């Protein structure tokens, strides 16, 4: 423990969230990082516990306790305290392939398990992680890494989201020849198309894709593996196939929207926004500009739709939440807000959430354009764009059928395993475990890589 009294001497200092009325005018990052001596002090607050619950990553009384990746948090916090960014980076990369992603979009289970947080504020683990990896990229520490041990085995990963990138990264560094297939024009999956730029800049995603390319991973975009001919060729030409196509089937909004224009699902809306704002590609899906917007659902995706609608210049935005307001109050009886709800209140003067309401029907004009939604309480709300952020029903059937693997909501495997009903085909990420978080997807990719490597080589030295 580098500074035994650090947690007594220094208070928690988080990365600063930009003012709401400032940040809704652009797509730049939400937070201004704390760096320099203040960042080193945040590393010094780590208590280097005898039992570091922050890195446990286990279920306890039905809740996840600590980091699913088992990040070596006290070790790299100690090195950060000393300003030893190089050694901190080495310990961080030992368990986490992409700290630049989790350091921005992870809900920080580590901080929820921090012992320092029992009587004071927890250590800023999330912000410290981001600081270490960004310092590494800015100072030339993130150089391509190569292995001299080439296996001669060819592996294809279908899907380039966080799970697909993680399994590709692990197997490439193990010495296998890795190709990643992506149906969209750009690699990155949900990182590139589903998470708005202000939370995860697309330059950060592309920076990692470029590094993996330099290290020998081949990316092929614009190729849809759900086409039977493509799937058969991949299955025939590669020693192992890993399906990492995510959970793409949205859960129904619960009302009939046939023939009504102005209704879409959250991921389609966010994808279209990324195309317009980041990649300069127009979309057939409508923008929220000048429209009354209603979003069904709660959670991260719904909030991202609120924030995106605000940046597109919506006329109003409401978020229908099925459960009552009381279910969301904290221990002090207050209603917490995330970044998007804070922004909506700053712009329109009220929290966008309407609690205890669900959708009953839609109203359209004679041309089939949506004009209002009616709730089950009978309230009519003006609405020209309805976005369903109601979660996901599972993975796409067409990919599974093309490769001949068994599925129900997700691809079927043995419990705790990643091999499908077809011996040389594996799966990982949301396609395997169901809708989840980026940090879980990376953990899934790493675990799947171990099983694939053992299948290819008869043993594995991956961890």
Domains, the chain: 6-138 (1.10.1060.10), 154-248+393-457 (3.50.50.60), 263-390 (3.50.50.60)
* Per-residue confidence band for 2, with pLDDT thresholds at 50, 70 and 90: low
What percent of the chain lies above the pLDDT cut of 90? 93
* Per-residue confidence band for 59, with pLDDT thresholds at 50, 70 and 90: confident
321: CB partners within 8 A, 6+ apart: 297, 298, 328, 353, 354, 355, 356, 357
Sign of CA dihedral 303, 304, 305, 306: positive
DSSP class of 419: B
Q: Round to whole Å and give the CA distance between 269 and 317.
A: 14
pLDDT of residue 61: 82
pLDDT tens sequence across 117-147: 999 999 999 999 999 999 999 999 999 999 9
Q: Round to whole Å and give the CA distance between 447 and 427.
A: 11
CA of residue 391 relative to chain centroid, distance? 14
pLDDT tens sequence across 235-271: 999 999 999 999 999 999 999 899 999 999 999 999 9
pLDDT tens sequence across 13-56: 999 999 999 999 999 999 999 999 999 999 999 998 989 999 99
Q: Does residue 1 register a pLDDT over 70? A: no
Q: Round to whole Å and give the CA distance between 343 and 352.
A: 9
Coil vs helix vs strand at 329: coil
Place of tokens 């459960």: 323
Mean pLDDT calculated for residue range 149-161: 97
Mean pLDDT calculated for residue range 109-120: 94
Phi/psi zone of residue 108: left (φ > 0), alpha (ψ -120 to 50 degrees), beta?
left
- Cβ atoms of 388 and 285 closer than 8 Å: no
pLDDT tens sequence across 340-362: 999 999 999 999 999 999 999 99
Q: Round to whole Å and give the CA distance between 335 and 327.
A: 9
pTM given for the model:
0.96
pLDDT of residue 3: 86
Q: Round to whole Å and give the CA distance between 1 and 73.
A: 12
* Per-residue confidence band for 201, with pLDDT thresholds at 50, 70 and 90: very high
pLDDT tens sequence across 298-355: 999 999 999 999 999 999 999 999 999 999 999 889 999 999 999 999 999 999 999 9
Write out the H or E segment, with its range, that includes residue 157: strand 154-158
The pair phi, psi for residue 197, each rounded to 5°, is -60, -35
* Per-residue confidence band for 75, with pLDDT thresholds at 50, 70 and 90: very high
pLDDT of residue 62: 81
The pair phi, psi for residue 261, each rounded to 5°, is -90, 140
* Per-residue confidence band for 286, with pLDDT thresholds at 50, 70 and 90: confident
> What does DSSP say about strands 218-221 and 370-375: parallel, antiparallel, or unpaired?
unpaired
pLDDT tens sequence across 424-463: 999 999 999 999 999 999 999 999 999 999 999 999 999 8
Distance linking the first and last C-alpha atoms of the chain: 26
pLDDT mean across residues, the chain: 96
Q: Does residue 388 register a pLDDT over 60? A: yes
Place of tokens 């279910």: 327
């Amino acid at each position: 423990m580098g500074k035994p009294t650090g947690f007594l001497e220094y208070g928690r200092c988080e990365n600063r969230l930009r003012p709401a009325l400032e940040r809704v005018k652009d797509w730049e990052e939400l937070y201004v990082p704390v760096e320099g001596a203040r960042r080193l002090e945040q590393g010094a607050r780590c208590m280097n516990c005898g039992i570091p619950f922050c890195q446990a990553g286990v279920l306890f009384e039905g809740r996840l306790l600590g980091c699913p990746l088992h990040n070596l948090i006290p070790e790299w916090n100690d090195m950060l305290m000393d300003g030893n960014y190089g050694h901190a980076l080495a310990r961080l990369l030992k368990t986490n392939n992409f700290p630049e992603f989790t350091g921005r979009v992870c809900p920080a289970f580590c901080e929820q398990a921090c012992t320092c947080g029992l009587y004071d504020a927890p250590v800023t683990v999330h912000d410290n992680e981001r600081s270490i990896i960004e310092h590494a990229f800015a100072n030339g520490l993130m150089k391509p890494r190569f292995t001299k041990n080439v296996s001669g085995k060819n592996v294809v990963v279908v899907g380039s989201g966080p799970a697909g990138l993680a399994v590709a990264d692990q197997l490439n560094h193990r010495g296998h020849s890795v190709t990643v297939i992506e149906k969209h024009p750009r690699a990155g999956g949900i990182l590139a198309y589903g998470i708005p730029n202000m939370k995860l800049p697309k330059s950060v995603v592309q920076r990692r894709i470029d590094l993996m390319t330099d290290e020998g991973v081949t990316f092929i975009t614009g190729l849809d593996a759900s086409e039977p001919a493509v799937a058969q060729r991949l299955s025939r030409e590669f020693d192992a196939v890993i399906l990492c196509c995510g959970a793409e089937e949205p859960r129904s909004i619960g009302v009939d929207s046939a023939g009504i224009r102005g209704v879409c699902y959250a991921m389609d809306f966010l994808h279209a926004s990324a195309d317009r704002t980041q990649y300069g590609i127009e979309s057939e899906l409508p923008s929220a500009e000048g429209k009354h917007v209603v979003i069904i659902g709660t959670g991260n995706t719904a909030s991202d739709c609120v924030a995106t609608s605000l940046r597109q210049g919506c006329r109003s935005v409401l978020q229908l939440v099925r459960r009552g307001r009381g279910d969301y109050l904290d221990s002090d009886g207050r209603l917490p807000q995330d970044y998007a709800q804070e922004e909506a209140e700053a712009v329109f003067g009220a929290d966008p959430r309407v609690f205890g309401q669900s959708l009953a029907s839609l109203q359209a004009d004679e041309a089939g354009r949506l004009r209002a939604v009616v709730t089950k309480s009978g309230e009519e709300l003006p609405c020209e764009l309805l976005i369903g952020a109601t979660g996901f029903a599972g993975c796409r059937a067409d990919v599974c059928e093309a490769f001949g693997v068994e599925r129900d909501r997700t691809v079927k495997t043995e419990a705790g395993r990643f091999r499908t009903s077809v011996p040389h085909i594996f799966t990982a990420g949301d396609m395997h475990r169901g809708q989840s978080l980026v940090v879980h997807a990376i953990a899934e990719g790493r675990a799947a890589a171990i099983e694939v490597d053992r299948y290819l080589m008869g043993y594995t030295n991956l961890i």
